[in-house]
Amino acid sequence: MRPAHEAAGRPGSYVDDTRRERRSRDEGTDVMPVAIITGASKGLGRALGRALAERGWDLVLDARTAGVLEETAVALSGYGTRVEALPGDVTDAGHRAELVAAARKLGGVDLLVNNASALGAEPLVRLEKLTLDGLRQALEVNVVAALGLIQEALPPLRAAPAGTVIDISSDAAAEAYPTWGGYGASKAALDHLSAVLGEEEPGLRVWAVDPGDMATDLYAAAVPDDGDPRPTPDSVVPALLRLLDERPASGRYGAPALLEER
């Protein structure tokens, strides 16, 4: 895997290149790239959505809570982009199909971000106390639903000028932390799924990204007694944008390292 700093590509070129190729295919119609983001109502999903909206991307946003998702959609549409907000559960195959159908109506799927996550237990517990139903929930949301959405989106991703999948991983996928066993196992599975997909789909970029520590509702639910300050999701977004701009080889990347190399 090439390190990010060795990647070819011109910073800021993704939107211009995608728009240029789409214009030629559509006989003069200027169509902006389209992203599907799950878990997009707050945290990293919303922060990335805002950054893409600022760049002119059209967005299809998913989250379980309709009211909060609608607030996010209204805010992001203020940047002049088209935003489709579809509340639902990513474990529902029908909902996943609706997300991809909405993206097709906007022009296709250039980027799929599997960001929705489940812990399996709130707060986190040691493995001896982790229920098997909790583990199944983490695997269903973090792995099975992610693969289901990838499968649904593969045809338009392959047809896109620069089809990309970003699977949001975790440091717990690679390191053994007490109480993080179920969640970490699910993210480790997602990492391997991403690695295999990258080999099977050489025409796409598939990145599993460890965002590092973040102050999110998910982390607060996982470790409610941890009051230490943590970086905001907004501080992680430049790492994701760097991947989109430079388009390094498919693989696993850590946001902290990407930010340090800038």
Positions marked catalytic: 183
* Cα separations in angstroms, 197 against 22, 73, 74, 158, 233: 25, 30, 34, 12, 26
183, 124 contact by CB (below 8 A): yes
What are the φ/ψ torsions at residue 114 (nearest 5 degrees)?
-85, 95
Using DSSP's 3-state secondary structure scheme, residue 82 falls into: coil
3-state secondary structure 107-170: CCCCEEEECCCCCCCCCCCCHHHCCHHHHHHHHHHHHHHHHHHHHHHHHHHHHCCCCEEEEECC
Identify whether 233 is preceded by a cis peptide bond (ω within 30 of 0): no
90 vs 69: CA distance, rounded Å = 14
Please give the C-alpha separations between residue 126 and each of 118, 130, 177, 183, in angstroms, as whole numbers.
16, 6, 10, 11
Distance separating alpha carbons of residues 204 and 192, to the nearest angstrom: 16
Structure tokens given for 114: 């599997």
37 to each of 43, 103, 116, 122, how far by Cα in Å? Answer: 12, 11, 8, 24
Backbone angles phi, psi at 223, to 5 degrees: -135, 75
